Structure 1
Amino acid sequence: MTKELPILGRPRGKMPFAPEGWPFIIPTALLLLISYAFCWTIPTVVLLLLLLFMVNFFRDPNHTMPMGDNLFISPADGKVVRAEMTEDGYQRVDIFMNVFDVHVNRAPMAGRISAMDYTPGKFINASFDHASEENERNRFEMECDNGSKIAFTQISGLVARRIVSYVKVGDQMAAGERIGMIRFGSRVNCEIPADYTLNVRVGDKVNAGLSIIARQHKKEVVNNAET
């Protein structure tokens, strides 16, 4: 079963938080002020910790992207939990995002979004491999400006219950441009062509829009002979 996700529009580049966070941050801040005014110690402490968590979770920092048409940049903050060649002939890199990572996801390369496929599903722990096939997910395919065809999938997690999309099929994306977010812990799986060399391994920490996941092999021509 598939269906389309609502398109919410890309957040402004200078916002310190993802716009999806304001409905959570503002009410919590107001409750905190009320609790503090009435000197309710325990509720005040709880609300303060909750507010700090939400501010951290919904942060949306700006980044200076690495330059290069042959670079596959990380679409997510988190820990690499899989990095290998698959039997289908492409390379797979899976990134697990815990609740303390930035959850705004970014386009790994410049190009056009050629397909999107949203599938409802379960909400098991996103660190498990079978979450990729069973959980709620949203898969993107891109035709990149350098000729490569790539794909990456947002996957919900145990606590994450909402995948948000900022884009639609046909949109032209710059490398590192925001494409959506997942609320409260999740995973992003990357499908990278075989002619790219992976730059990460399992256990590495990566940052969306900053870390280089893979580089495309370049063909050099010397004396009219390809090497």
Structure 2
Amino acid sequence: MSVDLKSTVIKPLHREGPRFVAIFAAVSLALFLVWDPLGWIGLGLTVWCYYFFRDPNRVVPQDEGLVVSPADGVVSLIGPAIPPSELGLGPEPRTRVSVFMSVFDCHVNRAPVEGTVTQIAYRPGKFLSAELDKASEENERNGMTLTMDDGTTIGVVQIAGLVARRILCEVQEGAILERGERFGLIRFGSRLDVYLPRGTAPRVSVGQTCTSGETVLAVLGENAPATARTV
């Protein structure tokens, strides 16, 4: 297998992945002992589990003022919304961009901007389909506020979905994140909401496919000369 083909097929795993892949593989082996067709189904699910927890490197655009997507998936909602009160972003509506992750998307979440984590707040809730507008208010969620050096604040909310049962946030308040840096994961199937600063217009459309850490959701101010890095 060539290096390029190997890197295309074999992806690094998030640290949550190996134990789940091992469980799926063990069940598949047991199913083979019961009936071969069941074993092949289990094997297929094991491969799916491996790719669900994949954690590929991304090339993060480095122009000044960029807001990148925190998740792989499809833009499901764009519009004004009041941020969750626990984020401390005030009572005024902001433009919210929602990215829905299906069970086939990479579920590693990345910081949309560089900044300091000034607020993290978890709220229990329901497990409605993450594609629904009301999921922002009613579903289990974990919110994070990022404050940039110039005082600009952006809210990022991890929202559990219909089959998601665990939200993982791997950073704490006070952490300093780079744009595109990994900060968490949700399993299995979910959504990320980004609350942009007031007056910021999104650069994406509903139905557009996003790549976490790479797709530009919005631009804050003027752009600097383009550079990129791999993380």
After TM superposition, the score normalised by the length of structure 2 is: 0.83
Partner of 2:119: 115
2:127–2:140: 8 Å Cα contact kept in structure 1?
A: yes
CA positional deviation for 1:81: 1.2
Structure 2: stretches of 5+ with no match in the other structure? 1-10, 83-91, 224-231
1:156–1:187: 8 Å Cα contact kept in structure 2?
A: yes
Are 1:28 and 2:32 an aligned pair?
no
Q: Distance in 2 between matches of 1:89 and 1:163?
A: 25
Partner of 2:62: 67
Partner of 1:96: 100
Q: Distance in 1 between matches of 2:124 and 2:159?
A: 10
Partner of 1:198: 202
Q: Highest CA radius of gyration, 1 or 2?
A: 1
Identity %: 40
User: Which secondary structure does the structure 2 equivalent of 1:132 belong to?
Assistant: helix
CA distances 1:87-145 after superposition (whole Å, capped 9, x unpaired): 72421101111111111100011110000110011111111111111110000001113
4+ residue runs of structure 1 moved beyond 3 angstroms? 30-36
Among 125, 144, 153, the residue aligned to 1:149: 153
Amino acid paired to 1:99: V
2:143–2:155: 8 Å Cα contact kept in structure 1?
A: yes
Q: Distance in 2 between matches of 1:66 and 1:20?
A: 27
2:64–2:222: 8 Å Cα contact kept in structure 1?
A: no
Amino acid paired to 2:20: F
CA positional deviation for 1:182: 0.5
Partner of 2:85: none
CA positional deviation for 1:85: 3.7
Are 1:211 and 2:215 an aligned pair?
yes
Partner of 1:225: none
The RMSD of aligned alpha carbons is 1.9
Amino acid paired to 1:137: R
Partner of 2:142: 138
CA distances 1:139-175 after superposition (whole Å, capped 9, x unpaired): 0001113431110100001100000111000000011
Alignment of 1:6-85 (within 5 A): 16-33=12-29, 35-36=31-32, 38=33, 40-85=35-80
Alignment of 1:157-172 (within 5 A): 157-172=161-176
Amino acid paired to 1:61: P
Amino acid paired to 1:119: R
Partner of 1:127: 131
1:28–1:47: 8 Å Cα contact kept in structure 2?
A: yes
CA distances 1:156-205 after superposition (whole Å, capped 9, x unpaired): 01100000111000000011111101001111111001243311011111
CA distances 1:56-105 after superposition (whole Å, capped 9, x unpaired): 21111110101123000000111111122447242110111111111110
